[in-house]
A and B are shown apart, each in its own frame.
Chain A
Amino acid sequence: MADQQLFLDGVSIALNGRVLLAVSHRVEVGEVLTVMGPSGSGKSTLLAYIGGFLDRAFSATGKVFSGAEELTVLPAEERHAGILFQDPLLFPHMSVGGNLLFAIPPSIKGRAARSALVQEALEGVGLAGAASRDPDTLSGGQKARVALARVLLSAPRMLLLDEPFSKLDAELRSQMRELVFAKARTSRLPVVLVTHDEADAEAAGGPVIRVGQ
């Protein structure tokens, strides 16, 4: 399902009649579209709209396409919009491996095949052998990497990043940026990044839309 560009066709989001942002943009495969704006500018609502979990308080118009398929008519669970928040939000009641298994689509059958994928994904983020661990015993950086591995395993059509680096310290932040963007490129995913950090935008290297100014 990857390898499809993301098309935001005249998307406009408003709160109480006030337009927060209006975007029309094609995000190519491997490209990162950065949406910049101060906190409270409503930039995160764009990701919520794409993902299908926009709060009812907001009103939105416009369509979102993945390749030729319109996402906006689909329920959230069929949009396959992988998202990373500023917190890793690993499911605390599952092991690390459990978190990853949960993400693998049901189309991949067989215990062996599924756990092989888990192993592979963990190796891919440098956490080989961590499958049986309690997520809460991981460091902040490790958690972020598990979260990345988890979203990638779910075979998403795109990657939505909601300030995913803002809670990491400076060194980890740049490592994490490189890892995420590299993975998005190799997985051939279009990426939408929402941030208020100029360094994020620079690292992303793609087009930048500024809102709320």
Chain B
Amino acid sequence: MCFMLPRLGPPLAIAVLAGPILFGLAGTILPAFGYLPALGETDFTLAHVEKLAVQPGIVMSGLISLAAGLVTTAVSLGMVMLFVAGWAGTRIFSRIQHLVSPLLSVPHAAAAFGLAFLIAPSGMIARIASPWLTGWERPPDLLIVNDPIGLSMMAGLIVKEIPFLLLIALAALPQVDLLRTRALAASLGYGRIAGFLHGVWPPLYRQMRLAVFAVVAFATSVVDVAAILGPTTPAPLAVRLVGWMNDPELSMRFFASAGALLQLCVTAAALLIWIALERLGAAMLRRLRRSGLRFRRDAWLRRAAIAAMVAVAITVLAGLAALAIWSFAGLWQFPGALPETFTAKTWMKTAPRLAAPLSVTLIVAALSTALAIALTLLCLMRENETGRIAGRRALLFLYLPLLVPQAAFLFGLQLLFVFTGGVASLPALVLAHLTFVMPYVFLSLSDPWRAYDRRYEAIAAGLGKSRSATLLRVRLPMLSRAILVAAAVGFAVSVGQYLPTVLIGAGRLETITTEAVALASGGNRRVIGVYAFLQMLLPAAGFAVATLVPALVFRNRRAMRV
């Protein structure tokens, strides 16, 4: 009976991954052309698109989004590539990997706040260096945060995308024979980085490609980071979109839908340009290969790569430290490097108001993660039953929610939920989160699941154990650590969700993240410090549980440690 369930796994997973996107896109694209029967409009028209085209600053907004997508991806991918090329397999590599990996669980908004607190003219760096070094008695009038071309926004995205791409690269590394290829290239006289580029990078990149596309799509359409660090005159497209969607005028719904369509086009354009850049890069690599240049003296570049990685980690960690200090600050005037007084007042005043968003955060994260784990396990069990491993097409489905810009389909989905009365309901919010949690849980759990030695199951069957007993008493316990880690990843993803929560929760269901971003506009650094600190603490707690529970339960089982 319970073994009929895995059969349902793949169709359910596809429904969870693709359903909201298809409905959402339909709900976005049709109104863009004037079709929204609920408002009595059924005539197709280009009027809304035309109105969008003459909106002040629309070209600039689109260009900023496009540039953010490409620059963020190129810089973070380049840094990860150089770092892996120069150091993979060394002890220092694994040390830095341990420094960078936790950054993955820091929600984007928290990292962005931290960066803003660091680099603003009145931020930590300026405070520490003033006035003894800079002579600044008051903050210089420099446009750093919210700069018009979005450099600080890109920096904020880069420090968060590097840990993501590094993790993806690490997951793909075992499938390329790095060490032997490196030895071979070295024996031919190639520098380490050049040898890597010629021998390892092409197959490694092929494995990472969808994840890289996801970074392009994310960076072109991000809302929270852009709202915190991005330009405001004009703001990037996705930020303006959210504003339009909330406009009281009904006609703005059509206009906002047209904007969402533009967002879709901008992301698609960024992906196409990226694919063109891939071709260009491959061609350059081929030319380089034909030239036979060895690039033996690459020590400086390798050192630069490691310095950049360390800088990224330190930036995020220092930003988070600055957040923590602000949350305990009394009056803290420029250029004081530390507050004049410390006080727990902010925490005490904020604490009573944390309970509600905290419980919504925890409930939604727990439910969406549990569902994602269950669904993933069903799919993986189905894989074992059919003997067919989910291939490229399944992978595309998994990446779908990460490739289609959130802003482009969540509006339509919100409209759908409004008309079905589901908006601001917990199930709708859990479902919306599930769409984004599912890919990460699946990607995180599928490798350990597939790497499992199935002879254990043959042995259990030979011992006369039923399939469910084998699953419950052998396979799941043996994979408990992997399952908990996948759950922690899913939990962190859910905690960090901003736009789905804002739109589907409709302001009635608030999480720590939506509260934090809402407060961002208020500029109260102390309270932002409290929320962002919590935002970072929750995923960290998730990973701590995922590490500690198996360690405790299996404290006398050496082989379960790994």
What are the residues of chain A within 8 A of B174 when measuring CB–CB? none
Given contacts A102-B473, A134-B557, contact A151 B387 (CB under 8 A): no
Residue B560 is within 8 A (CB to CB) of chain A in the complex: yes
Interface footprint category on A = 35 or more
Q: Which residue of A is nearest B457, CB measured?
A: A53
Question: Are B458 and A93 interface neighbours, CB within 8 A?
Answer: no
Complex CA–CA separation, A77 to B458 (angstroms): 9
Residue A171 is within 8 A (CB to CB) of chain B in the complex: no
What are the residues of chain B within 8 A of A145 when measuring CB–CB? none
Given contacts A93-B557, A135-B559, A137-B558, contact A105 B464 (CB under 8 A): yes
Given contacts A135-B559, A136-B559, contact A92 B478 (CB under 8 A): yes
Question: Are A92 and B462 interface neighbours, CB within 8 A?
Answer: no
Residue B295 is within 8 A (CB to CB) of chain A in the complex: no
B256-270 residues at the A interface, CB under 8 angstroms = none
Given contacts A89-B459, A151-B462, contact A77 B467 (CB under 8 A): yes
What are the residues of chain A within 8 A of B458 when measuring CB–CB? 48, 51, 53, 76, 83, 85
What are the residues of chain A within 8 A of B554 when measuring CB–CB? 93
Residue B453 is within 8 A (CB to CB) of chain A in the complex: yes
A65-79 residues at the B interface, CB under 8 angstroms = 75-79
Contact mask for chain A residues 80-93; partner B; CB cutoff 8 A; 1 contact, 0 none: 11110101010111
Given contacts A150-B463, A154-B462, contact A89 B456 (CB under 8 A): yes
CB distance from A30 to the nearest CB of B (A): 19
- Tell me if A's interface is mostly helix, strand, loop or mixed: loop
Residue B341 is within 8 A (CB to CB) of chain A in the complex: no
- Tell me if B's interface is mostly helix, strand, loop or mixed: helix
Question: Are B456 and A82 interface neighbours, CB within 8 A?
Answer: no
Q: Which residue of A is nearest B556, CB measured?
A: A134
What are the residues of chain B within 8 A of A135 when measuring CB–CB? 557, 559
Interface centre among B387, B461, B480, B556 (most CB of A within 10 A): B461
Residue B246 is within 8 A (CB to CB) of chain A in the complex: no
Q: Which residue of B is nearest A137, CB measured?
A: B558
Residue B209 is within 8 A (CB to CB) of chain A in the complex: no
Contact mask for chain A residues 30-52; partner B; CB cutoff 8 A; 1 contact, 0 none: 00000000000000000010011
Question: Are A51 and B556 interface neighbours, CB within 8 A?
Answer: no
Contact mask for chain B residues 439-469; partner A; CB cutoff 8 A; 1 contact, 0 none: 0000000000000011111111111111100
Residue B281 is within 8 A (CB to CB) of chain A in the complex: no
Q: Which residues of B contact A (CB under 8 A)?
A: 386-387, 453-467, 470, 473-474, 477-478, 480, 554, 556-560
Seed contacts A89-B459, A155-B464; 8 additional CB < 8 Å A-B pairs = A53-B461, A56-B386, A77-B466, A85-B455, A89-B455, A93-B480, A154-B463, A160-B462
